[in-house]
Structure 1
Amino acid sequence: MRKILYITILLLLSTSTLNAQQIGMYSDFMRNIFFYSPAYVGSQEALVVSAGYRSQWVGFDDAPADFNINLLGSVKNQGKIGYGVGIYNQNSGLMNTTGIRLNYAHHFNLSKNIKLGLGIQPGYFQYRIRLYDAVTADEGDDVFSGNINSTNAFDINMGFNIYSDRFFVMASAQRILGKMIKFTNFNSQLQFHFNAIAGYNFEFEKQKIKLQPNILFKYTEPVPLQVSPMVTVKYDDKYDLSLMYRHDDAIGIIAGYTWKKRLTVAYGYDISINRIKKYNSGSHEVLISFIINNKKPTLEELDDSLNNSILDEYND
């Protein structure tokens, strides 16, 4: 009995959990856009720190939950260089994933108003299966007691971003290396993911209103193509309200407030519209971001600052 249960759990983990939950999902994908494409990094005129949390399918035991914290910035050097680092943690059932991502992007002028960003994002991840949390027929089953399977993996994401003040089109490939991760009792393949996001910005200056339709496409085998349109209305660059739809999965609403163009707080709630809607009370998202500096330093300014610091220490 224990052997059968053990094998069943491993099969479920290897096929369903790892394939469907290898990369987290955010309804507020515009505020988590760097999560989907490294080419976005550096397109902002600021040094930004952010943190986000998503609790999915509230009511399910051990439902997916994601946390991330990121630092993003840019410098000028014959164009614009974007950089960043992100740390995230994901729990889904018995699976826990912790990882760190480094971001680098270079931005070029295609014309006076249109730019191209090319980005790369190497990442290192640890996958852990907590078998001691498994619910078994025999309490204290020694097969599961104290049992943790863990493994590490390295992978790369790449993407491009064509953008202006009015529109953007970006695409990215994630898990490019598609490595096989090896646990003690089974192996699982890291699945290739493809993302594409596009959006447009309509401005009504007299009314201080911006209307921003956006759409996200996600694809990974064997899951069908997922399409997520979203419409955002912003007022006075302070208040925003978004409506989103994820095909055959969920609908949601997102509200945000920005204080003095520096501190942004946003909350999102979505409900399932598929077969599991009867068994959960929705999903929640929270994001906080802060602009530390909205002026991009040049490499020369960074060098001057470093030299001045050295001289000050020497004079002291």
Structure 2
Amino acid sequence: MSATSFGQQQKVFTNFMMNDYYYNPAIAGSKDVHYANIGFRNQWAGFDDAPLTLYANFYGSAGNKMKHGYGASIMSEQSGLVQNTSFYLNYAYHVRLSDNWKLGLGIKPGYIQYNVKLYDAQLADPADAVLTGNVLSTNAFDFNTGINLYSKKFFFMASMRNALTDVITVTSFNEGLSRHYTGIVGYKWLVNAKKKPETDEEGNVIKRKKDFELMPVFLFKYVKPINPQGTIMLKATFDRKYWIALTYRTQDAAGIALGLTLKKRFNLGYAFDYSLGDIKSYNYGSHELMLTFQVTNKKPSIEEQDEEINNSIFDDNKKKKKKEE
């Protein structure tokens, strides 16, 4: 039984920036916010025994000075006869390097359980002793580490998964978890950021400035002996509510992601990618659905309070005009 029989040791996500916590434990605590998110990925839809992935994360910052980060996650994947379920806990520590820069260091120990469901297997030799029984089970301990260098506009993350390279044992077959190295770098370019709305002589809001953010991101992955793989993403966010992203994964797939933010707390995203390799003729693409809920620790600044009031006044004026018409 080969290592690939145990499914993908590192999962693939088209909308990886909405699930960056999966790639790097130092994400936890980088913002003064608590996050809870759930997600689903149907990879290679229409392809028999293709991977189906479900996950849930909860992470955020602890303490008044935003130095500590915490997190917990659970993930389950079904791929053919194999199902693996993983549980992780997370701790991160953040250091202020300057007025603009911080450095986060994170660890994520975990436990992975593998189940090989043989009752659906088609056996060449029904008397094969290795495949006797309904379910074969095994488990492995895992340990992930990561660093996160970031400012308000720039971020660079590097992480290592499966640092322990624990051995998966099923009867007489032994396979080790391979170390995966990941790097993510990105920059946020803001347009019209925090500009005051236009008002009339009486101070009524007549035109609200709408922000536009453009964020290019590059993700790099490497696991020996496979060739390195890169993913390019270009994400555009309008008015802090609506966003769209285009992605390209080298020699693998091209994708698109869409999403919206509601009440500054709920973030809903959908992603689709189209296979570009030899497998493209045998599937209908991959689909992802993600939902994130966030609660901030800090009180809004005076500027943010003013913006909220101005937006409320602007919306009220629009409703009044519609009624008058």
Q: Deviations over 1:254-288 (max 9, x none)?
A: 00010011001100000100011000000000000
* Inter-partner Cα distance in structure 2 for 1:215 and 1:47: 25
The residue number in structure 2 matching 1:215 is: 218
* Match of residue 71, structure 1, among 20, 37, 58: 58
Q: Contact 1:132–1:145 (CA<8 Å) still a contact in 2? A: no
The residue number in structure 2 matching 1:308 is: none
- The structural deviation recorded for 1:79 is 5.0
* Inter-partner Cα distance in structure 2 for 1:207 and 1:191: 46
The residue number in structure 1 matching 2:76 is: 89
- The structural deviation recorded for 1:188 is 0.7
The residue number in structure 2 matching 1:229 is: 232
The residue number in structure 1 matching 2:110 is: 123
Deviates more, 1:92-101 or 1:254-263: 92-101
The residue number in structure 2 matching 1:295 is: 297
Q: Contact 1:151–1:183 (CA<8 Å) still a contact in 2? A: yes
The residue number in structure 1 matching 2:33 is: 46
User: How many residue pairs were aligned?
Assistant: 281
**TM-score in terms of structure 1 length:** 0.85
Q: Deviations over 1:5-51 (max 9, x none)?
A: xxxxx2xxx24334x61121111110110100001111122111100
Structure number with larger C-alpha Rg: 2
The residue number in structure 2 matching 1:111 is: 98
- Cα distance change of structure 1 residues 296 and 176 upon mapping to structure 2, 3 Å threshold: farther
1:17 aligned onto 2:8: no
* Inter-partner Cα distance in structure 1 for 2:244 and 2:111: 35
1:184 aligned onto 2:171: yes
- Cα distance change of structure 1 residues 125 and 296 upon mapping to structure 2, 3 Å threshold: farther
Q: Contact 1:162–1:170 (CA<8 Å) still a contact in 2? A: yes
**TM-score in terms of structure 2 length:** 0.83
- The structural deviation recorded for 1:153 is 1.0
Q: Contact 2:29–2:66 (CA<8 Å) still a contact in 1? A: no
- Cα distance change of structure 1 residues 146 and 296 upon mapping to structure 2, 3 Å threshold: farther
Q: Which amino acid aligns with 1:262?
A: R
Q: Contact 1:24–1:90 (CA<8 Å) still a contact in 2? A: no
1:166 aligned onto 2:153: yes
Deviates more, 1:206-215 or 1:95-104: 206-215
Q: Contact 1:230–1:243 (CA<8 Å) still a contact in 2? A: yes
Per the alignment, in what secondary structure is the counterpart of residue 224 of structure 1?
A: coil
Q: Contact 1:76–1:296 (CA<8 Å) still a contact in 2? A: no
Per the alignment, in what secondary structure is the counterpart of residue 245 of structure 1?
A: strand
* Inter-partner Cα distance in structure 2 for 1:78 and 1:259: 28
Q: Contact 2:32–2:66 (CA<8 Å) still a contact in 1? A: no
The residue number in structure 1 matching 2:119 is: 132
- The structural deviation recorded for 1:76 is 2.5
* Inter-partner Cα distance in structure 1 for 2:96 and 2:31: 15
- The structural deviation recorded for 1:136 is 3.8
CA-based RMSD of the aligned residues comes to: 1.7
Q: Deviations over 1:286-309 (max 9, x none)?
A: 000111x21159xxxxxxxxxxxx
- The structural deviation recorded for 1:146 is 4.2
